[in-house]
């Protein structure tokens, strides 16, 4: 059942991107010739910011991470497979970057703020990399961010009121060091593909 929900969410997330209208932005020739392993969404007019609070209680924005490549993933801590796999791969990417690993910022946005308290989120991030941050907001804030990012999420009732699960989109959003959305990384693409794209963005900024 969980696998079926995950596949459904992935398909919905991919379809949202396929149907999105991309705007042309002004980039230099070096950036225009970049070939990404993920979906190039340079110039997109969505996923503009993340006005949420991190697990340390600090209000956050994409601009806070200027100089770093930022990878954003939406999920929830009780996710049995998709979320831990995506975050483990992101930790693998950071290690593969070597000394440049400090220039990668992982952000996990919970779609389950009801159960994912700051304490729970902090402990969850520690399982992957202590530098990764988890973001949360009120149900209203989450709905606004999800709309801007064109992501899908929905509660799936369980046997008890607290045993529910969450269907959600499963891709990652990759921002360059100037805070511009550049890549949509589909779930299942693997750590190597994401590593190559992150390294390409870092090399462009160098």
Binding-site entries for Cu cation: 79, 83, 168
Q: Kindly report each contact of residues 198-202 with a partner whose C-beta sits within 8 Å and lies 24 or more positions away, as own/partner.
A: 198/69, 198/71, 198/93, 198/97, 198/104, 198/174, 199/97, 199/100, 200/34, 200/35, 200/36, 201/34, 201/69, 201/174, 201/176, 201/177, 202/69, 202/97, 202/100, 202/103, 202/177
Strands (E) in 76-197, as ranges, are 104-110, 133-136, 153-156, 165-168, 172-175, 181-185
Q: Would you put residue 187 in left (φ > 0), alpha (ψ -120 to 50) or beta?
A: beta
96: helix, strand or coil? helix
Residues belonging to the binding site are: 79, 83, 168
Q: Which among 39, 13, 81, 49 is positioned nearest to 148, based on CA atoms?
A: 49
């Amino acid at each position: 059942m969980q696998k079926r929900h995950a596949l459904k969410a992935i398909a919905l997330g991919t379809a949202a991107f396929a149907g999105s209208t991309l705007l042309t932005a002004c980039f230099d020739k070096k950036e225009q010739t970049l070939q990404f392993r993920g979906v190039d969404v340079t110039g997109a007019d969505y996923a503009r910011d993340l006005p949420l609070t991190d697990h340390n209680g600090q209000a956050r924005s994409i601009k806070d991470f200027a100089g770093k490549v930022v990878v954003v993933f939406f999920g929830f801590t009780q996710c049995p497979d998709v979320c831990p796999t995506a975050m483990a791969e992101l930790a693998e990417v950071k290690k593969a970057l070597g000394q440049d690993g400090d220039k990668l910022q992982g952000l996990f946005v919970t779609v389950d703020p009801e159960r994912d308290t700051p304490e729970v989120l902090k402990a969850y991030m520690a399982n992957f990399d202590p530098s990764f941050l988890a973001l949360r907001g009120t149900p209203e804030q989450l709905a606004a961010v999800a709309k801007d990012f064109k992501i899908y999420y929905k509660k799936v009732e369980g046997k008890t009121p607290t045993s529910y699960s969450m269907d959600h989109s499963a891709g990652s959003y990759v921002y360059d060091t100037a805070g511009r959305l550049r890549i949509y990384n589909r779930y299942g693409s693997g750590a190597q593909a994401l590593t190559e794209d992150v390294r390409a963005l870092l090399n462009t900024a160098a």
